[in-house]
Amino acid sequence: MAELAKALENARQVVQRYAPDLVQKAGIWGSPMGKAYLARRIVPEIPEHRVYVEPFAGGARVLFGKPPSPVEVVNDLDPDIAFAFQFAKKLTPEQLARLRRKSWVGDKEHFQRLVKMPVPEDPVERFYRFAYLTRFSFNKLRRGGMADALVGVEARTLDKLERYAPRLRDVRVRHADYQAVIEEFDGPDTFFFLDPPYGGYDADPRSGAGNKDWDEARFGKVLRSIRGTFFCTYGVRGDAALFDKFHVRRWRHASGVGASRGVGLHTGTTLVATNYDPDKVRRFQVAVSKTVWGSPAGKKRMAKRLAAMLPAHTTYVEPFVGGGAVLFAKEPAAVEAIGDADPEIADA
């Protein structure tokens, strides 16, 4: 088992160096209850559309993980998140150079100084404060303290910013109530990815998921007024009647939300609701999955679809790995094993 773990780690390091997009979660920053570990399962389920809208964008992991649509919109009621999208969308080389001169290493004293300082007026300073606090705060809450495990860790935020900011160039950014954005862009060719606050989580400040002002009844009415299609993720503590008459599933997945400080991933459960039958709808064109190398009869074109169909598991095994397209398209499991009768593939 130790040799297998070492081999897998060596393989991940090779992929990190030569094909980083296979192991990195697409996006620039995270958010409380963000969908970093679900985005790859969500993207293959998106139906055909012309307009793509995220009324509760957060880190917009799904947007960054999907091919561009003709019209794309991100919205967030949090003014700092909306600002960060606007800043990244219009990022200049000069602004990036200024950010590179900043400290991006986890430091508790520096973290607390940024927490206590007022929001800067200078755009670069404001984005830096937002990005640093997001990276090093517990569950991306941008407040409270910083975990001991993050002290001395260097953030890769600027590498992500440089890589993914161009993806936002044609994306429309809004800072408004979710209902106003839905009403503005709703139509038969619009798809909404909805990741709202979770009802029933007000007593769990660790997750950042609850919102004391969140109105589930109002949200339910808005859902039933949508003329386009939607895919909604939600917690399991809300009103059981919220998604009546919709297609509802429970997805089990890796999650770091609600865990104790310094503790790794655990298995979480998310409700998934759609106003379309995911087994019958025509899917939006999905980019071909990538691998380090191909193989005869490999599954590059089917990898994301196959990964989305995998049940919850802690051990993942591919006895005929070939190019490992499904391995690279799926969420990491606690134990992963690959094998191939071809000695050259196994040695690689």
- Using one digit for the tens of pLDDT, what is the confidence trace for 51-69? 999 999 999 999 999 999 9
Residues 229, 242 within the same domain: yes
Taking only the tens place, the pLDDT of each residue in 170-204 is 999 999 999 999 999 999 999 999 999 887 654 34
Which residue(s) pair with 67 in the sheet?
A: none
Determine the pLDDT at residue 287. 47
Residues 340, 232 within the same domain: no
State the average pLDDT over residues 129-146: 84
Helix H segments across 214-324?
216-225, 303-309
Taking only the tens place, the pLDDT of each residue in 297-322 is 665 667 766 776 677 676 888 888 78
Question: What is the pLDDT of the chain when averaged over all its residues?
Answer: 82
User: Are 273 and 247 within 8 A, CB to CB?
Assistant: yes
For the entire predicted model, the pTM comes to: 0.73
Q: Which two tokens stand for residue 39?
A: 């985005």
Number of domains, the chain? 2
For position 191, which CATH number holds? 3.40.50.150
DSSP secondary structure code for residue 165 in this structure? G
Residue 177 placed within a domain? yes
Which residue(s) pair with 54 in the sheet?
A: 74
Which residue(s) pair with 336 in the sheet?
A: 316
Residues 189, 329 within the same domain: no
Residues 245, 334 within the same domain: no
Q: What does the angle CA 254 – CA 256 – CA 262 come to, to the nearest 5 degrees?
A: 135
Residue 265 placed within a domain? yes
Residues 312, 262 within the same domain: no
Strand boundaries in 99-211, DSSP class E: 172-174, 190-194
Is pLDDT larger for residue 276 or for residue 259?
Answer: 276
Residue 280 placed within a domain? no
Residue 284 placed within a domain? no
Residues 34, 119 within the same domain: yes
Residues 264, 341 within the same domain: no
Residues 313, 254 within the same domain: no
Residues 110, 45 within the same domain: yes
Residue 279 placed within a domain? no
Rounded to whole angstroms, how far apart are CA atoms 286 and 86? 26
Residues 72, 137 within the same domain: yes
Residues 54, 165 within the same domain: yes
Strand boundaries in the chain, DSSP class E: 51-54, 71-75, 172-174, 190-194, 229-234, 247-255, 266-274, 315-318, 335-338
Residue 146 belongs to domain spanning: 24-274
